[in-house]
Amino acid sequence: MANGQGQGHGGADGYGYGPGAAGGQGAVPPQNPYGPPAPYGHNPYAQPVPPQQPYAQQSPAGAQQPYPAPQFGAQQPQPQPQPHQQHAQPQPQPGGFPGPLPRRSRVAVLLQFLLQWIYAPLWIAALVLLFVVLIFADYNGSGPSSDGWLKVNRTFIPPRRLKAELTGRPEDWERYVTPILERRIAAAEASHAAGGGEVQADLGRQVAVRLAARLYRGLGAAGVVRIAERHGWHGSPVGTDAGHVGLVRRFPAPAGPPAPAPHDPPAAPGTPWGPQPTRSALLLPFVFLFQILYVPVYGLATFWVNRPEPDYWERWGARWTVGPRAFRAEFTDSPAAWDRHIRRILQRDTKRELARTPDSYAKLAAPDGTYYRRIQLHRATYRGAGAHHALRIAAEHGWTLDPAYTPDPANSLRLCRREQR
């Protein structure tokens, strides 16, 4: 029969109970459908293992694949690269110094370069005329808060900078700013050798250089710092802004060259620590009278000269001028007169230094709260008595040689006194 008992219903599609079906009569009982799963290799639904590529090339160590390989099955832990295999990432510049500034228009640069030969002389002539008017007018000292209108060089483009302004290439800007930076660095280091620089808490001294952005526009402050590092300098956040870059170099305290102690025998005349030759008593009155005329003339005629010596005017004054207080001591050349003069100047400078509060030395104080008060005696103060005699008088008031400076008794005597905050 078509629908006999021997043929299960729906045997063809597995829903019947006939002999053709899995659940038909007389068939083997089905296995437990909830039993343990078959092994991974016999799982019909498992993802196939990708075949090995016989022609695959081995990537070099540390190389980064442009596209990640597809993952099959469970993800295996990837081996971590060794430290020597990692690529060095670019480090940020110290202090976050900015890069090149926006490039100026070539048309504007050319117009400024051509017109500056007309307006720069007129500008200088107008400034001279203005100063003449202020001298004869009733000027009360009020005026603009900034002195930028006085500095014509800020708007002047030298021919050596024209190429860098037009091309905007960093290499052109580096060729232009490198000699300027080297001259500034040499002048700052010469100033340190002459006693300049800011004293630090560790008795070292720090000198600084500051460049305007117009000198390195296409190179950036970071490029200027890179050039300065070749000469032992580094960038400083202090003094660096949108229009300037600050550079500093710190020099350690001197090793302490030999210097006489206050209780040592007096130094011989003519030696650096002994009495120096004084000027003629006949010439001294003329110097005292005519210095009123030639000192202003020399100052106005040479104010534009850049001198690296921080005490240049003191040295020049000790040679070509004489003060009212030192006139008697040098005119008589008496040891007693020089002694009184040294004590008077030392008392004046000590009183002026002690007027400063301890809080003003906060940046120069050591971790234990100690700091140094500092004064300086110039050669005109102790010329006829000698630096050693002045050192002996200063020791009576607690002053000693300043360890932050190399002694230079032929020109000045730097003294210090240690105190506690």
pLDDT tens-place string over residues 325-382: 999 999 999 999 999 999 999 999 999 999 999 888 888 888 888 899 999 999 999 9
Residues 6+ apart with CB under 8 A from 268: 274
Which 8-state DSSP code applies to residue 232? T
Question: 305 falls in which pLDDT band (50, 70, 90)?
Answer: confident
187, 306 in Cβ contact below 8 A? yes
Q: Which two tokens stand for residue 416?
A: 């210090």
Which 8-state DSSP code applies to residue 372? E
**Looking at the predicted structure, is the pLDDT value of residue 80 above 70?**
no
Residue 371: exposed, middle, or buried by beta-carbon count in 10 A (0-12, 13-18, 19+)? buried
Amino acid (1-letter code) at residue 10: G
Residue 48 and residue 44: Cα distance in Å, rounded?
10
**Looking at the predicted structure, is the pLDDT value of residue 182 above 50?**
yes
**Looking at the predicted structure, is the pLDDT value of residue 280 above 80?**
yes
Position 124 scores a pLDDT of: 82
CA angle centred on 276, ends 275 and 277, rounded to 5°: 125
**Looking at the predicted structure, is the pLDDT value of residue 199 above 60?**
yes
pLDDT greater at residue 62 or residue 145: 145
**Strand pairing category for 244-251 and 234-241:** antiparallel
Query: What's the average model confidence in pLDDT over 207-214?
Result: 94
**Looking at the predicted structure, is the pLDDT value of residue 143 above 70?**
no
Position 139 scores a pLDDT of: 56
**Looking at the predicted structure, is the pLDDT value of residue 221 above 90?**
yes
Position 93 scores a pLDDT of: 46
Q: Which two tokens stand for residue 91?
A: 């480090």
Q: What is the percent of the chain with per-residue pLDDT over 90, rounded to a whole number?
A: 52
Query: What's the average model confidence in pLDDT over 64-84?
Result: 43
Question: 311 falls in which pLDDT band (50, 70, 90)?
Answer: confident
Q: Which residues pair with 419 in a beta bridge?
A: 371
CA angle centred on 115, ends 113 and 121, rounded to 5°: 105
**Looking at the predicted structure, is the pLDDT value of residue 177 above 50?**
yes
Residue 112 and residue 25: Cα distance in Å, rounded?
108
CA angle centred on 14, ends 46 and 24, rounded to 5°: 120
pLDDT greater at residue 43 or residue 83: 43
Q: How many CB atoms lie within 10 A of CB 421?
A: 13
Residue 207 and residue 228: Cα distance in Å, rounded?
13
- Please state the pTM of the whole predicted model: 0.64
Q: How many CB atoms lie within 10 A of CB 401?
A: 22
pLDDT greater at residue 399 or residue 121: 399
Which DSSP helix (H) or strand (E) runs through 317? helix 312-320
Query: What's the average model confidence in pLDDT over 81-100?
Result: 52
Question: 141 falls in which pLDDT band (50, 70, 90)?
Answer: low
Position 169 scores a pLDDT of: 93
Position 146 scores a pLDDT of: 54
Q: What are phi and psi of 411, to 5 degrees?
A: -125, -40
Position 69 scores a pLDDT of: 44
